[in-house]
């Protein structure tokens, strides 16, 4: 009996401390940042690029969609993301898609908080005498 008592007291203390410890742990998740949708419209000529700045307020997912192209809706354009220095888009893209089309996601990924620029450019599909209109949508935190 004394052998049982010696084992049961440490076992009971272990179980009691484990029960107390499990009551104090928390698995809180960080709140999700609010989502912002920016829509930019413009034109791009053969061999040209245009850019529009946007601000990512917190780390999180970014999705960029080319929502319209005209006069030929099936034409692909280039879409990229670069840094924004407050005056201009950076010349080196962070990421790009040379074959973006309407109706599909052009780019998606995770960005850190900061200043960015979405660029729309001729990736070799705009005829020399055309000016192509476009609309691009950026969804970000």
Using DSSP bridges, classify how beta strands 131-140 and 95-100 pair: parallel, antiparallel or unpaired: unpaired
Q: What is the pLDDT of residue 29?
A: 64
pTM (predicted TM-score) = 0.76
pLDDT in tens, 55-75: 999 999 999 999 999 999 999
Rounded to an integer, what distance in angstroms lies between the CA atom of residue 14 and that of residue 68? 65
**pLDDT tops 90 at residue 42:** yes
Share of the chain above pLDDT 70, in %: 77
- Residue 53 belongs to what H/E stretch? strand 49-56
Report the top-level CATH class of 36-140: mainly beta
Mean pLDDT of 24-46: 80
Domain residue extents for the chain = 36-140
Rounded to an integer, what distance in angstroms lies between the CA atom of residue 121 and that of residue 125? 10
């Amino acid at each position: 009996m004394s052998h049982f008592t010696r084992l049961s007291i440490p076992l009971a203390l272990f179980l009691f401390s484990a029960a107390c410890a499990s009551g104090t742990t928390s698995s809180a998740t960080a709140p999700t940042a609010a989502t912002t949708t920016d829509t930019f419209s413009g034109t791009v000529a053969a061999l040209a690029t245009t850019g529009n700045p946007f601000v990512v307020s917190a780390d999180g997912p970014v999705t960029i969609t080319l929502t319209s192209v005209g006069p030929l809706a099936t034409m692909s354009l280039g879409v990229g993301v670069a840094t924004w220095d407050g005056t201009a888009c950076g010349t080196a893209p962070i990421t790009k898609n040379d074959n973006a089309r309407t109706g599909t996601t052009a780019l998606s990924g995770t960005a850190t908080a900061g200043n960015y620029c979405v660029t729309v450019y001729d990736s070799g599909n705009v005829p020399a005498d055309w000016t192509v209109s476009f609309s691009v949508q950026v969804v970000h935190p």
